[in-house]
Structure 1
Amino acid sequence: MDSMDRSRAFLRDVKRLVVKVGTAVVTRSDGRLALGRLGALCEQIKELNSQEYEVILVSSGAVGIGRQRLRYRKLVNSSFADLQKPQVDLDGKACAAVGQNSLMALYDTLFSQLDVSSAQLLVTDNDFRDKDFRRQLSDTVKSLLSLKVIPIFNENDAVSTRKAPYEDSSGIFWDNDSLAALLALELKADLLVLLSDVDGLYSGPPSDPHSKLIHTYVKERHQGEITFGDKSRVGRGGMTAKVKAAVGAAYAGIPVVITSGYAPENILKVLKGDRIGTLFHQDAHLWAPQKDVGARDMAVAARESSRRLQAISSEERRKILLDVADALETNEKLIRTENEADVAEAQQNGYERALVSRLAMKPGKISSLANSIRMLANMEDPIGRVLKKTEISDGLILEKTSSPLGVLLIVFESRPDALVQIASLAIRSGNGLLLKGGKEARRSNAILHKIITAAIPDSVGGTLIGLVTSREEIPDLLKLDDVIDLVIPRGSNKLVSQIKNSTKIPVLGHADGICHVYVDKSADLEMAKRIVLDAKVDYPAACNAMETLLVHKDLVHTGMLNELVVNLRIEGVTLYGGPKASSLLNIPEARTFHHEYNSLTCTIEIVEDVFAAIDHIHQHGSAHTDCIVTEDEKVAEIFLRQVDSAAVFHNASTRFSDGARFGLGAEVGISTSRIHARGPVGVEGLLTTRWILRGSGQVVNGDKGVIYTHKDIKIESHVVD
């Protein structure tokens, strides 16, 4: 729970909670009891009871159930003549008395099946005027909870003297929402959960697709902005009543969450810290989430922090990275816990195996990341390096120096380790950073961001690295071409294409990782088998994994093709073929050659020679990484010179196409662009250049009297003073 949002951190200390369930949750639209929802509610309370939580239930529904039962009984006992007479509405107090009996009988049955005891407590607003009643109520509930009995409260509508729900009420409570809030205060609860028929409080009607769920209600911001809908279809309340009760309780010190009672495990999810429903808390105004700061403010803050980062010494920047590496290893258990929760939820939600594989931070991953960061810290400082030094004229010296780009926006999917790599590269290269990870890695990204920013000293500021938490913020950020200098999308072809089409900011990245291994006729068989298996099997979900195997036609007759196929199948690889290979090997034909499987699947095709392989790669590849396996140096040189990809290998697995393996320390991604950085992009790809001119009073004056020498000067020190 240490990784949850600040706004939900208090949940780790909750012991006693009041749960209010509304009529719309207890009953179906036809007035009958919603047995499934009630059963799920009781199962959650049973689970909480066994976990030593103290649960107090406030349940509506008696009037609605009683009305439905009495109407049915009246119908059964009516003659045809009776039915022709004007129908008089049933007495509400009689309905309440009958319905309360039925409601409690059902709760008793359901809880008994779960081996839990429950107790009924009926109250009226007048009861609370009596101090002795309040004291006795507290003692009774305390006794019941100590016996692990679930107290079930309801207003005693059968004998209540209140004449109207709001205007003429005594002001003590006016419905079961306000009763629940009153009980939470009276019984010193740590949390109040109001279960509704919608997911929480929305910015507009929940049925309107433009309405957004408000995760944290801030009275100062949301009051007056939200128009509430009608009251409940069956009870006295509705969202207006819930918000009124929630605000009252929250500002009296009892946190409140309004969430759906239709979902079977929402109470458990609330207590786990899941960001569901709408939270009301007296400190909510202090927690303005980053998105409320505004996209521009977040980007500007990152730029200001990056300039402070550039201003400190090289050794201080190095120390920040070493501190980040240490912090990651110190918090490894916490990171693994949050990551495992993300993986479990992804599996439960039915995400593809390849995505789950990229999401999981396997044992040893944190240590590996920490070591990469230390390697990065010990590299030569990339900022302010003198790349070229020229004497323009006597006493006029020009230096071309390395300089940070400014502010980077990285949008990535699935892989939380990408956040660590990108953040460390940004710190090393002096850049500000805005990160938007996939929702499936929400917990992992949150804890990693928290750990990394905590290691950044106040002199630089944690705003150096902003974590964007909502997809809705991306369009606003993509408009900030005057503040953000580079966008790096790491994800699907669809994601990259959408971003490229939505911004004026330069975009660096690759849409697909369709990597080829071409096995030439002169290839060494054992070497070919090793390289092909490694390129496909070592980590199939990576963008540098082999997706297409091209085989020289002569290897069909030598049996090498068959051995390669057998080896892949032994490793569990599913095979598809091009037009030639599918008929020859009797395997399904690939729908397209331009497909990134990201799994234990690949396409095989037979080609005439190296030139046909090159043509195939140019036609169907993604210019990421392509490899030739051959013992013929002449053929190898043809392949290496002519394949127009960001990385081209001879007799080596495509899996080497990686920033860490290239010695870059880490990578922000792999670029297939032909402008600026190409291939694995490390620190160098996050830098641009600046010109520094040192003179002694020279002026141009129409170039009169200026003698240009343009003489190269040997660089003695790489770093600008």
Structure 2
Amino acid sequence: MGSSNVDSTRAFVKDVKRVIVKVGTAVVTRADGRLALGRLGALCEQIQELNSQGYEVILVSSGAVGAGRQRLKYRRLINSSFADLQKPQVELDGKACAAVGQNGLMALYDSLFSQLDMTSAQLLVTDNDFRDPDFRRQLNETVKSLLSLKVIPIFNENDAVSTRKAPYEDSSGIFWDNDSLAALLALELKADLLVLLSDVEGLYSGPPSDPKSKLIHTYIKERYEGVITFGDKSRVGRGGMTAKVKAAVYAAHAGIPVVITSGFAADNIIKVLYGESIGTLFHRDANQWAPAGEIGTREMAVAARECSRRLQAMSSEERSKILLDIADALEANDNLILSENAADVAAAQQAGYETSLISRLALKPGKVSSLANSIRVLANMEEPIGRVLKRTELADGFILEKTSSPLGILLIIFESRPEALVQIASLAIRSGNGLLLKGGKEAKRSNSILHKIITSSIPESIGEKLIGLVTSREEIPELLKLDDVIDLVIPRGSNKLVSQIKASTRIPVLGHADGICHVYVDKSANKDMAKQIVLDAKTDYPAACNAMETLLVHKDLMQTAFVNELIVELQIKGVTVYGGPRASSLLNIPEARSFHHEYSSLACTVEIVDDVHAAIDHIHRHGSAHTDSIIADDHDVAELFLNQVDSAAVFHNASTRFSDGFRFGLGAEVGISTSRIHARGPVGVEGLLTTRWIARGNGQIVNGDKGIVYTHKNLTV
């Protein structure tokens, strides 16, 4: 037994044997009050399957009053004269409804279970019964006996003779509805799990009808109590979500896990017992688990937005000072950062991670100082927020300005590189954005210490929640659903990571999937310059996304010793060289599996092309629109390449390794974007800004455009 979708917080279900299932009136009856045969049939089928698998299932069923009311309304109708029907109709007696409905409800259960070759038993209880220890002892013995015979005990409150006052507002008794009865029975009969079936998927952060409400997967009392507003009471029963949550908190506190889930799905009880993350879980240990579910992440995003608004309200000098304080704090904690990073590197080596990942993970001596210096460059930049980009006079005395503005809340998901956290955090502060960061687990200690140092430097007047650090991988899917509070996702990592994120969110994604960068050596190239550039582009930092992956060489250069010499020099530097179809046969090197391949290591592909046009075609067909370079002394050929290669960055006589935010003078980068909307290439502060329109008038109105004379005059900025 099992499921591929098992959630770690649901691991306890493997030890469950005795389960109580409570089914509410809204599930048992249809909107018109009649019993819902399809749903009850599916419920009985699930119980039969669980019974055959060795589970002990006890059912607590509402629905008698609703079903009885439907029947008695009909009886009254056919027994009334026309004159009787003209009089005001008196509300039917609830106890009479219960007595009639209980009979019909149990007849239906008996019939459905009989069809499944099973037997059910009715147990009616009242609040007062539980005050008697002899009753409770007898109850346990009866249930034990029924379960040993594989009979399904079906409990309901004996509403027909219950002395508790209607309309059941009195919650002073031992139980006061079928939800609290189910919780009481779970304790009394020592159940391992209580499942409360509802007419919604579980507990939501707001009214389930509100599209912004999110399902809470794990209820943590300290986090949600007093925060969540429940909807109305049940349509027909007297419970509703408030009653379910009260009962669930009570049972969970006593050590019995509870799941509230929908009774409308045909297999939800089975899914719960297979450990799938459906519905809302209540568990005594929930507050000790890593923050689970989207409310934690939602709260983090909402808090970051509030802090970012306070940050934007600060003066440019105050924002710069925060960055300078962060730079100083990083340098002051250099040894601590490097020791935590060394622990991550050692753990990654022990876990057998690839060399390329470990090289990205390691912070070399001097790295913290260079990060601090790049933050100081950012701090001293021209103020990016509120810059007037365009000024137009719409009409006399009516001026419109287009201004630069922060994007809002950024979610950055990055792998291995801890310095990315520093760069991104400083860029977010400079551009007035709130930030959520999720680093790879291999850099957990490095990211944690860097986050702590940076947030400690943020003034209390803004709040350290400006930058949230997401620690659990399970939270990523929930974050990606928050398209109403997160404005942009920037994944920094492997092609696989970026592709997965693009496929699983409605939030705009800025990033590049591959870094398949080319260097084309034209026949007019200076040979010594070409060798230096090619060696640098491949070997300076092979794991980087701007390292050369494919070398294209003009066919005329095959007449010289140049190509062989270049390949030998690459091999001396430890580079494994593969060839395309032409190069592998001409140069006697192994053939590459694909041109669209990012090695991210000391390896590359070489191919021979006829001319610059063939090189451009090759790049468009096999490249990733990241960074491509031409080495040529022929100015016309170089210009052709620069103008026609449609990549985010295109260079002439320079290494592809220059495609970097710091090297471009952007101060730092959040990543490199190959998308064609918004920012392209290395993304610095400007890529984290959008625009707003600000108009200043003196009483202008549209009035069908009759009362205004448009001038639409461009003004100097």
Give the structure-1-normalised TM-score: 0.60
Q: Equivalents in 2 of 1:329, 1:449: separation in Å? A: 14
- 1: distance between equivalents of 2:619 and 2:339? 42
Residue aligning to 1:458: 460
After TM superposition, the structure 1 stretch with the greater mean CA deviation from structure 2, 284-293 or 396-405, is: 284-293
Residue number among 432, 435, 452 corresponding to 1:433 in the alignment: 435
Report how far residue 422 of structure 1 moved: 0.4
What is the distance in 1 between the residues matched to 2:679 and 2:308? 21
| Aligned-partner residue type, residue 484 of structure 2 | D
Partner of 1:486: 488
SS of equivalent residue, structure 2 residue 341: helix
For structure 2, list consecutive stretches of 5 or more residues without a partner in the other structure.
Answer: 1-191, 194-217, 226-248, 259-283
**Residue equivalent to 2:13:** none
Task: Give the aligned residue type for 1:360.
Answer: A
What pairs up with 1:110-259 in 2 under 5 angstroms? 223-224=253-254
The 2-side partners of 1:409 and 1:432 are apart by: 9
**Aligned-pair CA distance for 1:587:** 1.4
Q: Is the 8 A contact 2:290 2:472 kept in 1?
A: no
Note the alpha carbon deviations across 1:10-51, whole angstroms, 9 max, x for none: xxxxxxxxxxxxxxxxxxxxxxxxxxxxxxxxxxxxxxxxxx
Q: Which residue among 361, 380, 383 is the counterpart of 2:382? A: 380
Would the alpha carbon gap of residues 225 and 418 (structure 1) be closer, same or farther in structure 2, given more than 3 Å must change? farther
| Counterpart residue number, 1:397 | 399
Map of 2:691 onto structure 1: 689
CA distance in 1, matches of 2:430, 2:691: 16
344, 350, 353: which one pairs with 1:351?
353
| Cα offsets for 1:460-481 (capped at 9, x unmatched) | 1111100010111011111111
User: Do the aligned partners of 1:579 and 1:589 also contact (CA within 8 Å) in 2?
Assistant: yes
1:323 matches 2:331: no
Cα offset for 1:299?
Answer: 0.7
Offset of residue 223 of structure 1: 4.4
Q: Residue by residue, what CA displacement relative to the aligned partner does 1:195-221 show, whole Å, maximum 9, x if unpaired? A: xxxxxxxx99xxxxxxxxx9x999999
Please tell me whether the aligned partners of residues 290 and 298 of structure 1 are also in contact (alpha carbons under 8 angstroms). Answer: no
**Equivalent residue in structure 2 for 1:311, among 310, 313, 320:** 313
Amino acid at match of 2:626: H
Offset from partner CA, 1:127-165 (integer Å, 9 cap, x none): xxxxxxxxxxxxxxxxxxxxxxxxxxxxxxxxxxxxxxx
8 Å CA contact retained: 1:291, 1:468: no
Equivalent residue, structure 2, for 1:424: 426
Query: What SS does structure 1 have at the residue aligned with 2:699?
Result: coil
Shift of 1:294: 1.2
Aligned to 2:544: 542
Residues 48-101 of structure 1 deviation map (CA, whole Å, 9 limit, x = unaligned):
xxxxxxxxxxxxxxxxxxxxxxxxxxxxxxxxxxxxxxxxxxxxxxxxxxxxxx
- 1:363 counterpart (356, 362, 365): 365
Which position in structure 2 is the counterpart of 1:625? 627
Matches of 2:392 and 2:600, distance apart in 1: 49
Contact 2:424 2:669 in 1 (8 A): yes
RMSD: 2.4
Identity value in percent: 77
For 2:222 and 2:705, locate their aligned partners in 1 and report how far apart those are by CA, in whole Å: 65
Distance in 2 (alpha carbons) for counterparts of 1:414 and 1:596:
17
Q: Which of 644, 656, 672 matches 1:654?
A: 656
Opposite residue 380 of structure 1, the aligned amino acid is E
- Describe the superposition over 1:225-263 as per-residue Cα deviations: whole angstroms up to 9, x where unpaired: 6659xxxxxxxxxxxxxxxxxxxxxxxxxxxxxxxxxxx
Give the conservation status (yes or no) of the 8 Å contact 2:514–2:624.
yes
Q: Where does residue 155 of structure 2 map in the other structure?
A: none
Q: Is contact 1:489–1:495 with CA below 8 Å preserved after alignment?
A: yes
User: Residues 517 and 550 of structure 1 are in contact (CA less than 8 Å); yes or no, is this contact kept in structure 2?
Assistant: yes
Q: CA deviation at 1:441?
A: 0.5
**Aligned partners of 2:519 and 2:676: how far apart in 1?**
22
Quickly say closer, same or farther: Cα 1:655–1:696, change in 2 above 3 A: same
Determine the structure 1 residue equivalent to 2:671.
669
Which amino acid is 1:470 matched to?
S
Residues 223 and 363 of structure 1: is their aligned pair in 2 closer, same or farther, counting only changes over 3 Å? farther
Residues 670, 683 of structure 2: 8 Å contact kept: yes
Could you state the TM-score of these two structures normalised by the residue count of structure 2? 0.61
Partner of 1:571: 573
Provide the secondary structure at the position in 2 that maps to 1:689: strand
Please, which of 508, 513, 516 is the counterpart of residue 515 of structure 2? 513
What does residue range 261-300 of structure 1 map to in structure 2 within 5 Å? 294-300=296-302
* Residues in 1 aligned to 2:447 and 2:255: alpha-carbon distance in whole angstroms: 31
> What SS class does the counterpart of residue 471 from structure 1 fall into?
coil
Q: In structure 1, how many angstroms separate the alpha carbons of the residues matched to 2:316 and 2:256?
A: 51
In structure 2, what residue type is equivalent to 1:610? Answer: V
How big is the shift at 1:311? Answer: 0.6
The answer to whether the 8 A contact 2:542-2:601 is kept is yes
SS of the equivalent of 1:623 reads: coil
Matches within 5 A, 1:33-112: none
Provide the secondary structure at the position in 1 that maps to 2:607.
strand
- SS across alignment from 1:598: coil
Instruction: Return the match for 1:412 from 393, 414, 432.
Output: 414
TM-aligned CA deviation for residue 224 of structure 1: 4.9
1:680 paired to 2:678: no
Worse-superposed segment, 562-571 or 680-689: 562-571
1:698 to 2:703 alignment: no
Q: Is the 8 Å Cα contact of residues 290 and 468 (structure 1) preserved in structure 2?
A: no
Residues 701, 707 of structure 2: 8 Å contact kept: no
Matched with 2:479 is 477
- Whether the 8 Å contact between 1:291 and 1:470 is mirrored in structure 2 is no
In 2, the alpha carbon distance for the partners of 1:391 and 1:292 equals: 46
| One-letter identity of the residue aligned with 1:689 | T
CA positional deviation for 1:292:
8.3
**Residues 1:225 and 1:714: Cα distance change in structure 2 (over 3 Å):** farther
Give the corresponding residue for 2:596: 594
Task: Tell me if the contact between 1:535 and 1:546 (Cα under 8 Å) persists in the aligned partners.
Answer: yes
On the 8 A contact 2:308/2:434 being kept in 1, the answer is yes
Amino acid in the other structure paired with 2:529: M
AA aligned opposite 2:646: D
2: CA distance between counterparts of 1:407 and 1:578?
44
Deviation at 1:296, TM superposition (A): 1.0
User: Hey, what does 1:189 align to over in structure 2?
Assistant: none
Provide the C-alpha distance between the structure 1 equivalents of 2:502 and 2:667, rounded to a whole number of angstroms.
27
Q: Is the 8 A contact 1:389 1:714 kept in 2?
A: yes
Q: Does the residue aligned with 2:474 lie in a helix, a strand or coil?
A: helix
The Cα offsets for residues 572-625 of structure 1, whole Å up to 9 and x where unpaired, read as 111111111111222111111111111111111111111111111111100000
Give the aligned partner of residue 558 of structure 1: 560
* Alignment-mate amino acid for residue 402 of structure 1: S
Whole-angstrom CA distance in 2 between matches of 1:612 and 1:325 = 48
Contact 1:518 1:628 (C-alpha < 8 Å) held by counterparts:
yes
In the alignment, is the contact (CA less than 8 A) between 1:575 and 1:602 conserved in 2? yes
**CA displacement at 1:705 relative to structure 2:** 3.0
The equivalent of 2:137 in structure 1 is none
Structure 1 pair 471–287 and aligned structure 2 pair: CA distance change class (3 A): closer
Tell me which amino acid in the other structure corresponds to 1:598: S
Amino acid at match of 1:427: I
Unaligned runs of 5+ in 1: 1-202, 205-213, 229-279, 716-721
Number of residue pairs aligned between Structure 1 and Structure 2: 450
For the residues of structure 2 that align with 1:517 and 1:542, how far apart are their CA atoms? 15
Deviation at 1:335, TM superposition (A): 0.4
Instruction: Supply the distance in 2 between the matched residues of 1:290 and 1:300 (Cα, whole angstroms).
Output: 16
Relative to structure 1, is the Cα distance of residues 361 and 321 closer, same or farther in structure 2, using a 3 angstrom cutoff?
same
Q: In the alignment, is the contact (CA less than 8 A) between 1:519 and 1:550 conserved in 2?
A: yes
Task: Specify whether residues 528 and 449 from structure 1 end up closer, same or farther in structure 2 by C-alpha distance, changes over 3 A only.
Answer: same
